[in-house]
Structures are given as structure tokens and as C-alpha cells.
Chains A and B, each alone.
Chain A
Amino acid sequence: MTVTGAARLEARFAALAAQDRAAFVAYVMGGDPGLGKSAQLLDGLPGAGTDIIELGMPFSDPMADGGAIQAAALRSLNAGVRTNDVLKMAAKFRRTDTQTPMIVMGYYNPVHHMGCEAFAKACHASGIDGAIIVDLPPEEDAPLRDAFEEYGLALIRLATPTTDDQRLPTVVANTRGFVYYVSVAGVTGAAVPDADPVQKAVARIRAASGLPVAVGFGVRTPQKAAQIALSADAVVVGSAIVDAMARNGIKEALDLTRSLSDAVHTARQQA
């Protein structure tokens, strides 16, 4: 029997932990540069070593994103792609791949507009396992959290360099799946994180949450990904893959994914 939702994430993390390997998480923007090509890229990700897929939902005002992902969101919207199209694309992917956990990442307004209950239902029906909603802090996420719980989905919270010890318990309370550590204060794809403070933060968040910790924002190269993989349970790369896709197309984006995932998977053996 295949598990779904938060349980699919948990199963994957457990399997990787048993092999002492970090997970490689690839972020791609749903519908960039159009639905056809985006779906092709999505289909190629597991074969290129992606353990968990993070699928961006385009938004007109991506306040937490840097240039690469802003541009990707615009390309997607300009191609006429909307939230439901991204969910449909996910559903199609799920028909042939029941193993790879897939979460969506986006902003609250499109979710709010659809309604939290309807959004959770649609995610569940599309084989989505969880979501990160960037501008929805714990203080405001009860409506979505309740709806997600009903469907066994993981609402994944973000911890950041500004999340101090006093605040961390609020951030990790009621979370499932994993905690996403935003490794630098800034927007996506801007600064590069240092491995040292990241290692400390990961240990702190793991202890507070009892959950796997994924690290993202600013990781672009296999070298940096390998460094982070020594301490983190998962390494997320977004802007670099989105950039490669925009500049050179699907093959280059998947080649980069392959070299990043290899680096993450072998990091601990080589250390």
C-alpha cells in the first residue's frame, strides 16, 4: 500500500536516514515557461536523483523571492498558468510516480482565495503531500493547518536566522514532515550560507522539533550542497535550477540536478 501526504514524506526521510544519506530537494516553478515544458522537467526530476519535489505555485507579488524565481513566476503567469493548472500538473505526475514526495510552495493569497478547505482537498486529490506558504506565519495559519490535518497533509513551517530560542517553539509546534530552515536572512537565490552557523541551527531546530530539517535559500553549487548535507537532513536548491532551465532548457536543468543530488547523496561517505 502506498502512503500519501505527510506519511509519504516521513517514509522517505526514514529510508534515507537508514542509509545515512541526506535528501536532495529540487524546487521548480510550476508552469515555467509553460505547462508542457514544466511537466517534462517535473517528470525528469526523480530520475536525476531528486528525493523530494518542491513545486512552486506562481504569484504576482512574490515578496520573499529574488530575481530568478520572480522571473519564473512571471513567465508562468504570462503563459496563463494558474494555481489549479499547477495542481493538475502534479496530479498527472502522481499517476506514474507514487513514491516521490511532492510539496507545493507559494503565497497565501491564491490559497485564501480558493479557500483553505478547498485548497487542502485539491492538494490531496492531486497527490500533493504538503505545502509551504511563505507569508503565513504560525500565528495566522490555523485555518490552513486544520484543513491540512483533515487530509493528512504536512503544513511545513519555516525557521530562519532571526528565529531565536524564544520563538522556535512557536514555529515548530504542530508541524509535520520536516522543518525548512531558511539559511540566510534574505530572498531566495541571493546570499550563500556558511556551513558552520547552518550546522548549529540545524541541530537546534532538530532538537526542538524532533523532525528532519531541510536547508535552503542560497545553495547553488554541488560543493555547497555537499557541505550542507553533512549536517542537514535535506538540501534544497531552487534558483540555480530555475536559472538553468530559463537559460539552457530542460536537459541542462536536469544535468545540474543530477550533479547536485550526487553531491548530496555521497557527501557523508566522502567526509
Chain B
Amino acid sequence: MSTSEAKRIWPDAKGRFGAFGGRFVAETLMPLVLELEGAWDEAQRDPQFTAQMDEYLRDYVGRPSAIYFAERLSEHFGGAKIWLKRDELNHTGSHKINNCLGQVLLAKRMGKTRIIAETGAGQHGVATATVAARFGLPCVVFMGATDIERQKPNVFRMKMLGAEVVPVTSGTGTLKDAMNDALRDWVTNVDETFYVIGTVAGPHPYPHMVREFQSVIGREARAQILEREGRLPDACVACIGGGSNAMGLFHAFVPDENVRLIGVEAAGKGIKTGQHAASLAGGEPGVLHGNRTYLLQDDDGQIIDAHSISAGLDYPGIGPEHAYLHDIGRAEYVSATDEEALEMFQLCTKLEGIIPALEPAHALARVGDLARELGPQGLIVMNMCGRGDKDVFAIANHLGVKI
């Protein structure tokens, strides 16, 4: 990697991260996306907006989240010291709310009166419904029918929060289809609606905006590890669905060239089986949902359905900034299977008394390898980006237990 490349400020004015990103939407949405970019530019530079964000992050979300030395996991893996960035302790149980808060505050600022969102695991849906409830805005969440089945507790939570949950049956009824239907809603309700995208994907300015809202994770983690260990970690590790918790952790560390940045994609039943959600490992560059990035696709450019036990990782694309960090070699991308995630879910629960979401359980699988590789002198920060309450039914099912 060339140093200057990584240190450049991305995205550029066209929303590009190198050859990735951009703005590929139907003309009806172009003026809306440009309006959003203008409002976001202004808000970013407004100290009042930042102060408002900081206050809600502290009092409502519960930031800063703790950083925790996972002593027994470290012992178990027998290598480097493993620190967990505890974003699962946030209000609503994941990192998603950092971004929802920012976008809903921006929606208010723009005078929008209706919130829509897509969701996979339901964490983004719950976080959006929560913030919408707090600010008294009606909220519609698009969720694949398959995901509604496997994330029932979150569906009920969203409804309790006053959101309308719209089941999406097109395609395979998962996250990408929910995103298609959210875009169809937005293109129809152009005046009053704000579309809260849940990850670092979509047309510019979303990948940039979501990264900025999530980058609080890495800023805190960097300061916390410096304070506790007196040095930067050897590696930061995070799971990747669209890549928002990973970009959130990575962003502050990108200029620290000695810190390895490692993203863990979902390998599903195994990359070789074709049933996975690893867009970098098994995909090619293409254009979907507003940006150019790596996508799972066939030789005609038709999108291939992803597979992962984790609804939050079950997406055939990845945020454009990851595609860029991958191509310039600044970040490394590996993967973990369904089986590994299930094993790590149980291990973390038993050893640390922390029930992780299935998403970060994927990251933990590669943290184990890395800890052994780095040895006892090593230092790892992993983003524990969500808690596993939403997954207990699916896990019980897998273990053959009726609850």
C-alpha cells in the first residue's frame, strides 16, 4: 500500500473511494440524494449539530461504551490479549443506533416527517424505530419475510415501538430485497420521507455519512486502548455485513499503518459451497443499491443470493470503502462459517458471560486464530457490536431445544 493513498481523504466530491462508491440511482432519486448531501455537508460543519449528537450519544445511547479485557477468552485462545469494544451495551443492543441517531437528527433538521428503513437482523430496524419513537416520527421498516421468521423478537420490539413492519417477499425475502423495497418506497414518497440506510452502502453521501456517525467507535477505542495498554493494538477486528461496525472501528486507525485492520465476512456453509455472504472473497466489482462495489453475481451480472445464519450479514454486497481498503491492501478480509459462529457464540457466552450476537461471533472466530498468530505480546481490539438476545430462538432451534 502506498502511504499517501491510505492517508488521502475519501470519498472525493463524487462520492468515490478510489474506483468504488459513486451514485447510481434512478433520476427520480438524484435530486433527493443531492439535497441530502447538501444538508449533511452543512450539519457536519455545524457545532450545534455535533453538540446535539454528543449529548444524545451520552445520555440516550450510553456512550462511551466500555472497552473490556476478555481475560478468559484470551487464556482460552492462548495468545494475544483480546479487548472487546462493548458496543453491544448501547441502548437497543448494537452499534446501529449510533448511525440512526445521526440520520434521524438530520431528517428533523431537513424537515422530513416520515422515516423508512430496511433491516436484516432487525437491529437497524429496532434502532431506527427507537429513535423515531423518541422524536415522534412515523416509521416504516422493510424486512424480508425470511428474516421476520428468524428474528421474531426484534419484529415484536419494532411493533411495540410504533413502527410498521412491512414483510418483503420478493427475491429471497432477505436484506437486499428489503433494500429494494425501501428504495421503491422512497422513489414514491419523495417529499416527506427520509430513508435511514443501516450500513456504509447506498449512494453517496450514505457511505460517508454512516461512516462518520459510526466512527465514534474507533475514536473511543483508540483512546481507551492507549490509556489502558499504553500502546496501539496490533490489530482491530470486526464482522462485516455491509460493513458499518467495521468502518466505525477502523476509521480512526486507518492512518496508523502498523495497526492491522481485519474484516470478517460470513462464509455461510463455506466459500466453496457457493452458499455464503462473502462479497470480497467470492464476488466481483459491480453496481447495486446506488454504489459500485464487490458483489456476489453470476456471469451475466445477476445478483446471487447471499447465505448466512446471521441475518445481519446476509447481504451480497459490501460498503465501497471496504472494497477500496481491500484493493489498496490497507485492510485484510477473511471469513468465518455458520458453524464457527455458532461455536464462538457458545464459547463467549460460557467464558465471558457475554452473549454475543451471531454477527460479532463471526469476528471472534478469526480473533482466535489471530491471537495464536500474534502470541502473548500481541494486542487485539475486537468490536463486540451486538448482543445475542435476538438470536436465542435461532440458537435454541439449532441446538434442538424448545423454548
Q: Which residues of A contact B (CB under 8 A)?
A: 59-64, 66, 70, 77, 82-84, 108-114, 134-137, 139-140, 157-164, 167, 171, 182, 185-187, 190-191
**B63–chain A nearest beta-carbon distance, Å:** 35
Q: How far apart sit A77 and B292, CA to CA, in the bound complex (Å)?
A: 23
Which among B23, B29, B303 is the interface contact of A109 at CB below 8 angstroms? B303
Query: By the criterion CB–CB under 8 Å, are A108 and B183 in contact?
Result: no
Query: By the criterion CB–CB under 8 Å, are A162 and B184 in contact?
Result: no
Chain B's interface: helix, strand, loop or mixed, by majority?
mixed
Query: By the criterion CB–CB under 8 Å, are B25 and A61 in contact?
Result: no
Q: Mark B170-185, 1 if CB is under 8 A from A, else 0.
A: 1100001100100110
Q: Mark the stretch among B45-53, B71-79, B256-264, B293-301 that contacts chain A.
A: B293-301
A162-B31, A167-B31, A186-B187 given as contacts; is B301 within 8 A of A134 (CB)?
Answer: no
Q: Mark B352-365, 1 if CB is under 8 A from A, else 0.
A: 00000000000000
Q: How far apart sit A77 and B295, CA to CA, in the bound complex (Å)?
A: 18
B22 at interface by CB-CB < 8 Å: yes
Query: By the criterion CB–CB under 8 Å, are A157 and B27 in contact?
Result: yes
Query: By the criterion CB–CB under 8 Å, are A185 and B187 in contact?
Result: yes
Chain A's interface: helix, strand, loop or mixed, by majority?
loop
17 of the cross-chain contacts (CB-CB < 8 Å) are: A60-B303, A61-B289, A70-B170, A82-B300, A83-B300, A112-B286, A113-B299, A137-B23, A137-B26, A137-B30, A139-B23, A160-B26, A160-B27, A171-B27, A182-B27, A185-B28, A185-B187
Query: By the criterion CB–CB under 8 Å, are B302 and A162 in contact?
Result: no
Query: By the criterion CB–CB under 8 Å, are B26 and A135 in contact?
Result: yes
Chain B residues near A61 (CB-CB < 8 A)? 171, 176-177, 180, 288-289, 303
- Chain A's closest residue to B30 (CB) is A137
B: interface residue count bin: 35 or more
Query: By the criterion CB–CB under 8 Å, are B24 and A163 in contact?
Result: no
Query: By the criterion CB–CB under 8 Å, are A160 and B24 in contact?
Result: no
Query: By the criterion CB–CB under 8 Å, are B26 and A109 in contact?
Result: no
Q: Which of A63, A66, A112, A140 has the most chain B CB atoms inside 10 A of its CB?
A: A63
| Closest CB pairs A-B (n = 4) | A113-B301, A110-B301, A186-B188, A82-B300
Query: By the criterion CB–CB under 8 Å, are A84 and B300 in contact?
Result: yes
Chain A residues near B24 (CB-CB < 8 A)? 108, 135-137, 140
Query: By the criterion CB–CB under 8 Å, are B31 and A109 in contact?
Result: no
- Chain A's closest residue to B301 (CB) is A113
Query: By the criterion CB–CB under 8 Å, are B23 and A187 in contact?
Result: no
Which among A112, A136, A137, A185 is the interface contact of B301 at CB below 8 angstroms? A112
Q: How far apart sit A225 and B18, CA to CA, in the bound complex (Å)?
A: 46
A185-B188, A190-B188 given as contacts; is B28 within 8 A of A113 (CB)?
Answer: no
Q: How far apart sit A60 and B171, CA to CA, in the bound complex (Å)?
A: 8
- Chain B's closest residue to A62 (CB) is B180
Chain B residues near A134 (CB-CB < 8 A)? 26
Chain B residues near A186 (CB-CB < 8 A)? 28, 184, 187-188
CB-CB contacts below 8 Å: B186-229 with A: 187-190
Which among B30, B176, B190, B289 is the interface contact of A185 at CB below 8 angstroms? B190
Query: By the criterion CB–CB under 8 Å, are B301 and A83 in contact?
Result: yes
Chain B residues near A70 (CB-CB < 8 A)? 170
Chain B residues near A190 (CB-CB < 8 A)? 188
Q: How far apart sit A260 and B295, CA to CA, in the bound complex (Å)?
A: 40
B14 at interface by CB-CB < 8 Å: yes
Query: By the criterion CB–CB under 8 Å, are A110 and B300 in contact?
Result: yes
**A184–chain B nearest beta-carbon distance, Å:** 8
